[in-house]
Amino acid sequence: MKSRRALCLLVSAIVTAAALWSYVSQPRTVPAGHGVVPIQDGKTIDFSGGAPAVKDGAADKAAMDAAVKAMDAASKGVTFPADPPPKK
């Protein structure tokens, strides 16, 4: 009975080791088309096609200007009080 239990433990250990090795040895690559795109002033990056594309059209500039105005309006009244001086 003990030899059967030892054989089961050995087989389960081998299967577990093989599964872990199979998982760890998989290549970790980035799929094609998902590269890094540098950020450029005044241009937008469009991801709707599945890959990043830098755009510089009139509609993009208008949308960016509207977004900047909205952010400026939202943050106009925001203030952060200074921390009180540390007590001695």
What's the pLDDT tens digit per position in 35-73? 678 888 888 888 888 778 888 899 888 988 999 999 999
Instruction: Flag whether 85 is in a domain.
Output: no
Instruction: Flag whether 46 is in a domain.
Output: yes
Instruction: Flag whether 7 is in a domain.
Output: no
87 SS3 class: coil
| Beta-carbon-side half-sphere exposure of residue 72 (alpha carbons within 13 Å) | 6
Instruction: Flag whether 25 is in a domain.
Output: no
> CA 48, CA 50: separation in Å to the nearest integer?
6
Structure tokens at 25: 């040895």
Q: What pLDDT score does 30 carry?
A: 63
According to DSSP, residue 45 is labeled E
Instruction: Flag whether 31 is in a domain.
Output: no
Q: Measured between alpha carbons, how far is residue 7 from residues 3, 18, 20, 81 in Å?
A: 6, 16, 20, 70
Q: Please state whether the predicted TM-score (pTM) of the whole model is above 0.75.
A: no
* Structural domain boundaries enclosing 55: 38-76
